[in-house]
Amino acid sequence: MSTYKSDFLHTLASRGFIHQVSEPEALDTLARSSAITGYIGFDCTAASLHVGSLLPIMMLYWMQETGHRPIALMGGGTTRVGDPSGKDESRQLLTDAAITANLGGFRAVFAKFLKFADAGGNAVMANNADWLNTLNYIDFLRDIGRHFSVNRMLAFDSVKLRLDRQQELSFLEFNYMVLQAYDFVELYRRYGCILQMGGSDQWGNIISGIDLGRRLDNAQLFALTAPLITTSSGAKMGKTAAGAVWLNADLVSPYDYWQYWRNTEDADVGRFLKLFTVLPLGEIERLAALKGAEINEAKKILATEATALVHGRAAAEQAAATARTTFEEGTVSKGLPTVRVPRQTLEGGITVADAAILAGFCNSKGEVRRAIANNSIAVNDSRVTSFELTLDEKDLTTEGVIKLSFGRKRHVLLKPAYEE
């Protein structure tokens, strides 16, 4: 399956994580004979990590799992600059306060995948703000800047793309790759880190770091990139009707997260099981081979396993149970997302339109109107045909809730709120 002899590279390769590796033989040999240290950098542009970050996180997970030391590098410093790779326009700059706040949300997520010192493991969480924020400009130019050829930098895709399209590329962004390269060297010096991993769009930036390490410290550093993951039908990972699929439970509930994976396309099941669960490959092979409706079993396992990694086994099982009662038994499950409606409002009667907006299904009454015309909205599993329909306490089921549905997959329980 793979020609790698080290546990680390063999695992990554056979699970589909590897796109490109610099000097694969040398790295393989090294990883076989000793514990190596490697890192991946993460942006702090959002308040939570999302499904797109999952792939790199899993690489760090396997790194630790196969006996090495992973470093999750928070881009507290580089996020202040903004990576131009793969973007047409410069990203909006975030305030330092926002970056710090975002960082806070990350640690808990990483702790679910990696064992840091407080959990008795060797994983490291670093923040490049620690060394970037205090850099002295002139010193930095003389020590680091001299090793960078502008001629070469102009040839990098991330830069060239912008220039070719006559898109603005500020000097600030132009420096991003220099800083990222410097990060690599800094981590090498601090932790003996010799490997940087990342998405395939990071290749150029990583190579810059390798070059810098060789020039400054005569170090042999390595690059490993992962393929860009899309669904079989070509869509980018991690988007749903409601937006990005975040890893924080307060942004995307375990139930919704489970649903996201449950709705994986047939053709992706095997690949995703390998990438996003830690099930043994033999088991995955068996699941991916299921045909027709049977592959739904594999999807449920994918959903439960993937959810368990992020939200814990109990939450995953609960999401699975909720899905089972909702979709397979067709009954009202208490595990569905609930929306509280003040009791007075309910007594006075609330229109379906307002309820649908409250539930987050629609943004305007016009949308609700169209949705009803399209047969999309149901109350307690019966189709709503009239825009005039008003809901009140008589519509409460024996469980004391009103089940409001949008389409066949999105359900919400309206629950009278007695407090406040």
Partner RNA sequence: GGGGGAGUGUCCCGAGCGGCAAAGGGGGCGGACUGUAAAUCCGCUGGCUGACGCCUUCGUAGGUUCGAGUCCUACCUCCCCCA
By CB under 7 A, name the binding residues for RNA.
Answer: 165-166, 168, 233, 235, 240-241, 259, 262-266, 292-293, 295-296, 299, 323-324, 326-328, 363-367, 370-371, 373-376, 387, 406-410
Angle of the 176-191 helix axis to the 203-217 helix axis, nearest 10: 50
CA distances from 236 to 52, 239, 244, 246, 261 (A): 9, 7, 11, 14, 14
| CB nearer RNA, residue 347 or residue 381 | 381
Displacement of CA 321 from its chain's centroid (Å)? 24
Q: How far apart are CA 325 and CA 341, in angstroms?
A: 24
Residue type at 65 in one-letter notation: E
**C-beta separation of 124 from 69 below 8 A:** yes
Nearest distance, CB of residue 366 and RNA, angstroms: 3
Q: Which is nearer to RNA, 346 or 372 (CB)?
A: 372
Burial of 373 (0-12, 13-18, 19+ CB in 10 A): exposed
CB closer to RNA, 188 vs 406:
406
- Min dist CB 363 to RNA, Å, is 6
Between 152 and 165, whose beta carbon lies closer to RNA? 165
CA distance 172 to 331: 56
Min CB(304)–RNA separation in Å: 11
Using alpha carbons, select from 312, 314, 324, 309 the residue that is nearest to residue 259: 324
Given the complex with RNA, which of 150 and 241 has the nearer CB atom?
A: 241
Q: How many CB atoms lie within 10 A of CB 238?
A: 17
Give the residue with the Cβ less far from RNA, 366 or 400: 366
Burial class of residue 292 (count of CB atoms within 10 Å of its CB; 0-12, 13-18, 19+): exposed
Min dist. Cβ of residue 166 to RNA (A)? 2
CB of 291 to RNA, least distance (A): 7
Q: Closest distance between RNA and the C-beta of residue 384, in Å? A: 11
